[in-house]
């Protein structure tokens, strides 16, 4: 695995707007903590409870969008979002730079992504990625140095038998995301209730 914090295009002072789903589920948070404790020996950067998120898409850099554009985008999104939906968080896998939960089903996430993209395009704001390129997941620990995959695979294998966790998604957030040390933090610009 590689160091997540050496991603191209991100520096400590980078600020960007993103659409995110922020899980609000006590059972999910409890299981994440259980997994993080079981993986402490890997010395990854654990995602704290307040920073758990599912990234839907980048909207733009903080210096490129005006407050008026953000207000227009929020209003357009309120009129466009679909109904609330359930997701299942499935433990546990890894990517090149993080340990994460898979989520299912993808269909309502992709539908939401498409609706948000269309709302933005009506105001000249194009999302950074298409729905087809989205791979929905929730990261729980970021890799902070090169690590052999065998060690990670062996560590997460017992956790894959934990039960999936059901959660209700009732809002999407437009946030200004930034890095602080080896973590992400954000300021919420809009909370958009799903219909």
How many domains is the chain partitioned into structurally? 1
Which pairs count as long-range contacts for 133-136, CB under 8 Å and 24+ apart, including other chains? Answer: 134/56, 134/57, 134/106, 134/109, 134/110, 136/54, 136/102, 136/103, 136/106, 136/109
The whole-number pLDDT of residue 181 equals 82
DSSP state of 116: H
Separation between Cα atoms, residue 74 and residue 80, nearest integer Å: 10
Tell me the residue range of the domain where 131 lies: 4-193
Give Rg (Cα) of the chain: 17
Flag whether pLDDT at 154 surpasses 90. Answer: yes
The whole-number pLDDT of residue 185 equals 92
* Interior/surface letters 69-100, b for 16+ CB within 10 angstroms, e for the rest: bbebbeebbeebbeeebebebbbbbbeebbbb
Separation between Cα atoms, residue 153 and residue 193, nearest integer Å: 38
Among the listed ranges 8-17, 61-70, 77-86, which one has the minimum average pLDDT value? 8-17
Flag whether pLDDT at 126 surpasses 80. Answer: no
State pLDDT tens for residues 130-150. 777 789 999 999 999 999 999
Q: Which CATH number goes with the domain that contains 128? A: 3.90.1140.10
pTM: 0.93
State pLDDT tens for residues 9-55. 777 788 999 999 999 999 999 999 999 999 999 999 999 999 999 99
The whole-number pLDDT of residue 14 equals 85
Per-residue tokens: 54 = 């599912």
């Amino acid at each position: 695995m590689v160091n997540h914090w050496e991603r191209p295009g991100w520096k400590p002072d980078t600020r960007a707007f993103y659409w995110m789903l922020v899980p609000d589920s006590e059972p999910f948070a409890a299981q994440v903590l259980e997994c993080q404790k079981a993986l402490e020996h890997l010395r990854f950067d654990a995602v704290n409870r307040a920073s758990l998120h599912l990234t839907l898409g980048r909207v733009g850099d903080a210096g490129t969008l005006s407050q008026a554009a953000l207000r227009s985008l929020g209003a357009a999104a309120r009129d466009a979002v679909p109904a609330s939906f359930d997701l299942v968080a499935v433990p546990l896998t890894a990517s090149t730079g993080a340990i994460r939960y898979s989520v299912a089903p993808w269909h309502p996430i992709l539908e939401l992504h498409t609706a948000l993209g269309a709302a933005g395009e009506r105001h000249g704001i194009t999302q950074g990625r298409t729905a087809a390129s989205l791979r929905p997941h929730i990261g729980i620990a970021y890799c902070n140095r090169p690590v052999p995959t065998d060690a990670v695979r062996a560590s997460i294998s017992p956790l894959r038998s934990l039960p999936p966790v059901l959660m209700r998604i009732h809002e999407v957030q437009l946030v200004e995301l930034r890095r602080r040390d080896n973590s992400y933090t954000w300021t919420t610009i809009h909370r958009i209730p799903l219909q």
